[in-house]
Amino acid sequence: MSVDPLYWLPYDKDENAYQAVDYFANIAAPALRPVYEIFNITSVYTSLFLECITESESFYHAGIARLCVTADLLRSSGRKPTFSVLLHQAKAITHLRHEIEKTTQPTNMMLATILFLIAIDIAIGQQSSANMHRINLARLVRARGGLDALGHDGFEKATFMQFDNIYSLERGPSTLVPPRRYRPKYPPFPLSPRFFTIISVFPDGFQCLARHRLLPLEMIELLSRIAATVRRCFGSTVYVPFSATANPFHSERRKYDSFSDACPWLLAPEDNVHPLLKPLTLALLLWCCNAYSAIRASTVVYTGVLRALTMRLLRAPVILEPPANLRTHLAEAADDEDCMLWVWMGIEEVFLDR
């Protein structure tokens, strides 16, 4: 006797639904676990997604379509959307219209459906549609009371913020997250013995950047967590989590809700940020996605960060200006160049693996 593994879904299921859930559970979520743990960000690739697709038929079809197109991109990055993607996308839109007709105010699940429809539009190249829906989504979120009014104990807020972060890195100013003034905090001078102990486990190049006080405290924290991960995973070809007993699909709030919370310089004006910080952060995100996963899962996070870093490097290659103190110029310039070389090598590796 066989048991339907998706017996808990109250909707009509086709083969695509089974493949999409399998892809989510066995490829997409495990591939992003290092990112969320190392950056200390609340993961939205948990059982919450599976719970939500039982709450709204429009979200169910949008979620299946988004996972299907992600799996298709993994097989071939240039392929056109398959019939199954377009079918579930159309069903999501149809059900969403029916749901809108029955209510005077959009529900959280309606907003989540629109968010996933935007992600589908981006994945299949319908940019003008994505831009229009993104503006409407921001208006509807404000009508609901803002991001803090969304449900599931803050997890919906984290989902919306993370998507908006990735989109903003690629396409421009945020429509959902209000701009914040970036006030970088650097290690106090003179540098303490404890600071030197913390950075002693960094690779030499990052140690030099830290000693020259070019890295803000949040980046020092991030590099420290990466160094701890490298030590913990030494000799292993797979990711070793921070906690061996933690359930990766358990919904757990972490220190930060979004990438812009963990790395506030990411969306800050260019003239307020050291030119190394943004490309270095994006390269570290890609490293977290790739270092312990043989499969390059084409998630919103991975593809969005890859496009953002690629466009940044091609559009405006980093030109590092000499510091005012010429005596430190040669040493700092060499360290900066080594860092940018590492960034370029990281993105080259990604494209060679494709």
End-to-end CA distance of the chain: 41
**Which range is least confidently modeled, 132-146, 147-161, 285-299?**
285-299
Averaged confidence pLDDT in the chain: 83
In a domain, 290, yes or no: yes
154 and 253 both lie in a single domain:
no
Domain holding 159, by residue range, is 15-171
Q: How many domains does the chain have?
A: 2
347 and 200 both lie in a single domain:
yes
| Res. 10: pLDDT tops 80 | no
In a domain, 141, yes or no: yes
Confidence (pLDDT) at 319: 55
Confidence (pLDDT) at 326: 45
User: Between residues 78 and 287, which one has the greater pLDDT?
Assistant: 287
| Res. 75: pLDDT tops 70 | no
Domain C-terminal end among 141, 171, 201 = 171
90 and 162 both lie in a single domain:
yes
User: Between residues 56 and 293, which one has the greater pLDDT?
Assistant: 56
In a domain, 107, yes or no: yes
| Res. 274: pLDDT tops 90 | no
93 and 242 both lie in a single domain:
no
User: Between residues 271 and 337, which one has the greater pLDDT?
Assistant: 271
Q: Cα(27)–Cα(48) distance, rounded to whole angstroms?
A: 16
In a domain, 229, yes or no: yes
249 and 156 both lie in a single domain:
no
154 and 198 both lie in a single domain:
no
Confidence (pLDDT) at 39: 95
In a domain, 2, yes or no: no
166 and 197 both lie in a single domain:
no
Domain C-terminal end among 123, 139, 171 = 171
Q: How confident is the model over 170-185, as pLDDT tens digits?
A: 877 888 887 788 888 8
Confidence (pLDDT) at 36: 93
| Res. 136: pLDDT tops 50 | yes
Confidence (pLDDT) at 91: 94
153 and 240 both lie in a single domain:
no
Q: How confident is the model over 306-342, as pLDDT tens digits?
A: 889 988 888 765 555 555 554 444 455 566 677 777 7
Confidence (pTM):
0.86
Q: What share of the chain has pLDDT > 70, as a percent?
A: 88
Confidence (pLDDT) at 40: 94
User: Between residues 13 and 254, which one has the greater pLDDT?
Assistant: 254
202 and 86 both lie in a single domain:
no
Q: Cα(219)–Cα(187) distance, rounded to whole angstroms?
A: 11
Confidence of residue 262 (pLDDT cuts 50, 70, 90): very high
